[in-house]
Amino acid sequence: RRRGYRGLMPDNTQVSPFWLAGRPATGDGEIVVTHPYDGRVIGAASVPTDAQVEEAVAAAHAVRAEAAALPLHVRAEALAHVARRLAERSEEIARLITGENGKPLLWARGEVGRAISVFRFAAEETRRWSGHAQRLDTDPAAAGRLAYVSRVPHGPVLAVTPFNFPLNLTAHKVAPAIAVGAPVVVKPAPATPLSALVLGEILAETELPAGMVSVLPVPNDRAAGLVDDPRLPVVSFTGSGPVGWMIKERVPRKHVTLELGGNAAAVVCADADLDHAAARIGLFSNYQAGQSCIAVQRVYVAREVYDAFTPRLVAAVEGLVTGDPWDDATQVGPLISAEAAERVQAWVDEAAAAGAEVLTGGTRDGAAYAPTVLADVPAGAKVACEEVFGPVLLVQPFDGLDEAFALVNDSRYGLQAGVFTRSLDVAFRAHRELEVGGVIIGDVPSYRADQMPYGGVKESGIGREGLRSAMEDYTYEKVMVLTGL
């Protein structure tokens, strides 16, 4: 069902400039961006030189006091401008995301919509950002004293982002930085720099001081210099565990936020609406070809409904529209690269060789991997214990909630979990007992509202995003005591 690409693909003749302290610049060499679906070149990003990186960091450092003192209405108006411009350019940016990432237009459009919301929420939170007074005369020794408490930025933020949501996860770092008055240096993923560069262009239209935002597509082997730089005291990282924990160990005294991977689980209780659960799990195991940190990977089903549920799940997965990401109807497109799909294939083959049954899928075509359901997966198989980051789920029966929750918690990771139940008791129990950053009742673990606190426990990370939470992570409480009142 391929349609012509003419008019659908972004212009591939341009080399996008990067954004150095609010102005466009070109450097030395370029990152060529290819389309995962068919490998064609869809654009390129100019790569800054070491001197240009130094200039951007020095500018962020130099502007930090001015940024922290920016009136709230200036910050809020800049954030609202970004939301408006993203909305005006939404279709163009969605196509850019599909081009660089390969995700179907359906999800690319959704991502732009979410980024718009993130900037809107940030503008609203900025207007609510305020200090408070605390009376200290609760203690006789502090009679006549009053504390004024406000949050101030630690300083400029280094935002390191992954390929899978190249716009929205950049928004989740940039918007709260602007809201609290912190300069930000963005380092996008090398596979997908183009949408972050458009965001840089839109930010450059605002009244923010020049040094406040830079977007620098530096290659991975030069990223460590940014991480180490003492003028960037906050590192907000979203990406894989090995890189994230390496960063934390490298700069233990910095304020490091890590949003890392997971192998998210869904629990289907006997009282669940099985059709609803199957449809949601089938879709959100495979959306973005499974390349979401909260894609459903492990599905635990009450034994009494296992035989009724599993065929529904397989039917839901087989009903997904796969293929051309430029087709409006496509739900599952390619992975980011053929190498990524080969890794998924190797992990599924390993599980199958160890006794797993492939209920559907299990085949690869270039960078595309067929949505796959596995049963009887041995506990030690990579598809059970590691983050698959591909369109693969395993289904397994459980006897009783104790076993279900123990299975969910039997993981190095803990981002979110989904529990399909109609029982409020089970919901509260899940919230108490599941070792995750978020429990979603009646839906998949993949649900995220951009304004809610979001993040992991265990090896899934430290710190929280979601506008208000990120604003708190980027700042510290500072007290002024007034005497003689």
Contact letters for ligand NAD, residues 364-393 (x by CB under 6 A): -----------------------x-x----
Helix (H) or strand (E) holding 257: strand 255-259
Assigned token pair, 309 = 């549920």
Alpha helices by DSSP H, 102-256? 105-128, 168-180, 194-204, 223-228, 241-250
Residues 172, 176, 178, 183: what is their CA dihedral angle, to the nearest 10 degrees? -80
Respond yes or no: is residue 293 known to be catalytic. yes
Minimum distance from residue 225 beta carbon to ligand NAD (Å): 9
Going by the DSSP 8-state scheme, the letter that residue 115 receives in this structure is H
Among 78, 223, 302, 356, binds ligand NAD (CB under 6 A): 223
Among 45, 160, 296, 305, binds ligand NAD (CB under 6 A): 160
Q: Is 224 an interacting residue with respect to ligand NAD (CB under 6 A)?
A: yes
Respond yes or no: is residue 91 known to be catalytic. no
Minimum distance from residue 436 beta carbon to ligand NAD (Å): 12
Among 259, 324, 450, 459, binds ligand NAD (CB under 6 A): 259
Identified catalytic residue from 100, 269, 293, 459: 293
Distance CA 212, CA 210 (A): 6
Residues 41-60 that bind ligand NAD (CB under 6 A): none
Helix (H) or strand (E) holding 283: helix 274-286
| Residue partners of 371: CB distance under 8 A and separation at least 6 | 282, 285, 286, 317, 318, 320, 322, 332, 360, 361, 391, 392
Size of residue set near ligand NAD by CB under 6 A:
27
Contact region with ligand NAD (CB under 6 A), list: 17-25, 84-92, 125-133, 162-170: 162-170
Distance CA 299, CA 374 (A): 10
Distance CA 292, CA 278 (A): 19
Q: Beta strands 146-153 and 475-482: pairing type?
A: antiparallel
Q: 303-318: b or e for each residue (b if 16 or more CB lie within 10 Å)?
A: eebbeebbebbbebbe
Among 213, 260, 316, 384, binds ligand NAD (CB under 6 A): 260
Residue 455 CA: distances (Å) to CA of 6, 206, 262, 417: 40, 30, 11, 12
When the beta carbons of 181 and 239 are compared against ligand NAD, the nearer one is 239
Among 27, 261, 325, 414, binds ligand NAD (CB under 6 A): 261
Q: Is 239 an interacting residue with respect to ligand NAD (CB under 6 A)?
A: yes
Contact region with ligand NAD (CB under 6 A), list: 102-110, 142-150, 254-262, 296-304: 254-262
Minimum distance from residue 106 beta carbon to ligand NAD (Å): 18
Cβ-closest residue to ligand NAD? 239
Q: Beta strands 255-259 and 461-462: pairing type?
A: antiparallel
When the beta carbons of 22 and 217 are compared against ligand NAD, the nearer one is 217
Minimum distance from residue 170 beta carbon to ligand NAD (Å): 10
When the beta carbons of 260 and 419 are compared against ligand NAD, the nearer one is 260
Q: Is 240 an interacting residue with respect to ligand NAD (CB under 6 A)?
A: yes
When the beta carbons of 260 and 373 are compared against ligand NAD, the nearer one is 260
Q: How does DSSP assign 137-150, residue by residue?
A: TTSGGGTT-EEEEE
Quickly count: other Cβ atoms within 10 Å of residue 357's Cβ: 12
Minimum distance from residue 330 beta carbon to ligand NAD (Å): 21
Q: Is 190 an interacting residue with respect to ligand NAD (CB under 6 A)?
A: yes
Contact region with ligand NAD (CB under 6 A), list: 219-227, 279-287, 296-304, 477-485: 219-227
Helix (H) or strand (E) holding 349: helix 338-353
Q: Please report, as a single letter, which amino acid is at residue 267.
A: V
Distance CA 204, CA 210 (A): 8
Distance CA 431, CA 282 (A): 24
Minimum distance from residue 413 beta carbon to ligand NAD (Å): 9
Assigned token pair, 128 = 């609510």
Q: Is 189 an interacting residue with respect to ligand NAD (CB under 6 A)?
A: yes
When the beta carbons of 184 and 189 are compared against ligand NAD, the nearer one is 189
Contact region with ligand NAD (CB under 6 A), list: 2-10, 127-135, 220-228, 343-351: 220-228
Identified catalytic residue from 259, 387, 459, 465: 259
Residues 278-317 that bind ligand NAD (CB under 6 A): 293
When the beta carbons of 117 and 206 are compared against ligand NAD, the nearer one is 117
Minimum distance from residue 387 beta carbon to ligand NAD (Å): 6
Q: List, in sequence order, every residue forming a beta bridge with 374; answer none if it has no partner.
A: 358, 394
Residues that bind ligand NAD (CB under 6 A): 160-165, 169, 187, 189-190, 220, 223-224, 227, 238-240, 243, 259-261, 293, 387, 389, 415, 456, 461
Question: Which of the residues are catalytic?
Answer: 259, 293
